[in-house]
Amino acid sequence: MSSEAISSADYIKHHLTNWTYGQFPEGTENAGQWGFAHTAAEAKSMGFMAIHVDTMLWSIVTGLIFIYFFSKAAKRASAGIPTGFQNFVEMIVEFIDTSVRGSFTAKNDMVAPLAMTVFIWIFLMNFMDLIPVDWIPKASEWIGMTFFGAQEHHVYMKVVPSTDPNATIGMAFSVFFLVLFYSFKNKGISGFTAELTLMPFQSNNKVVQGLFIPVNFVLEFVSLIAKPISLALRLFGNMYAGEMIFILIAIMFNAGLVMATLGGVLQLGWAIFHILIITLQAFIFMTLTIVYLDMAHSDH
């Protein structure tokens, strides 16, 4: 942020605006051109096709961190006395394996690796929330001004990908597409269609059953669509609220010594509690992914 005094509202808006690349709309100075938004209003006006560069960047960075350290542990794994890091990785693998065995009753070699990827990747993205809210935005602003000539307040950087609904919805719908794929693969078109139209209301009378079909379809279709939406919004809502609290606490540091001291205590307390939240949210997303895939493999 700028060295100039800004209002609390501007501070919050700056920290909650994504670094956006897209096409400037008609009626603006750069209409029809592609570029980075300089204000929150410009970012909003770019519409659906705009790219949140910071979300993409930190999603890829955290994914590469996961791949690097776990591949390193796999290459160095030995049957002898394990290192501390190998012990840590083996504990995670055993935890994931236990979770899959407890929730997934079918046989699919893809589910356990997927569950581990989901858990670790989401945990790392959530963990970015524990980095002080001004560090990376301040560094990105300095880089933008020094190397790219960006103006102050024009360099936005949201470092927690899971506070962007685009990221959480993307992950949730990826799981949803896998659920649909395995539902059709294991049950066939007729079996999956029957699952959506012949339950929960049933009758031995064909006429009555025919009347139940549209009612069953509406109920089951809503239940089906609710799965990815609930996955996405649960993760987004919890992480967004956590990030907002960190930002509000950070404002206290500019309100005098007493408020700054209180803010420091609150920040420490919330950070410790937030460790539980980021882990729990990753675990919930992983567990529901396993459960939904198990349902896709189950044949009534």
DSSP 16-73: TS--EEEEPPTTSTTTT-EEE-SSHHHHHHT-TT-EEHHHHHHHHHHHHHHHHHHHHH
Active site residues: 230, 234, 238
The reply to whether 53 falls in a domain is yes
Indicate whether 1 belongs to any domain. no
pLDDT of residue 300: 62
| Domain span at 289 | 8-297
pTM: 0.90
Is residue 30, in this structure, part of any structural domain at all? yes
pLDDT of residue 265: 93
Domain assignment present for 2: no
- Total number of domains in the chain: 1
Output the six-digit token pair for 134.
């001004």
The set of residues, in sequence order, having a beta carbon less than 8 Å from that of 47 and lying 6+ positions away, is: 22, 23, 25
Q: What is the pLDDT of residue 294?
A: 94
Q: What is the DSSP string of 92-124?
A: HHHHHHHHHHHH--S--TTHHHHHHHHHHHHHH
Question: Which residues does the chain have with pLDDT short of 70?
Answer: 1-5, 148-154, 300
* Beta pairing partners, 277: none
Length of the chain: 300
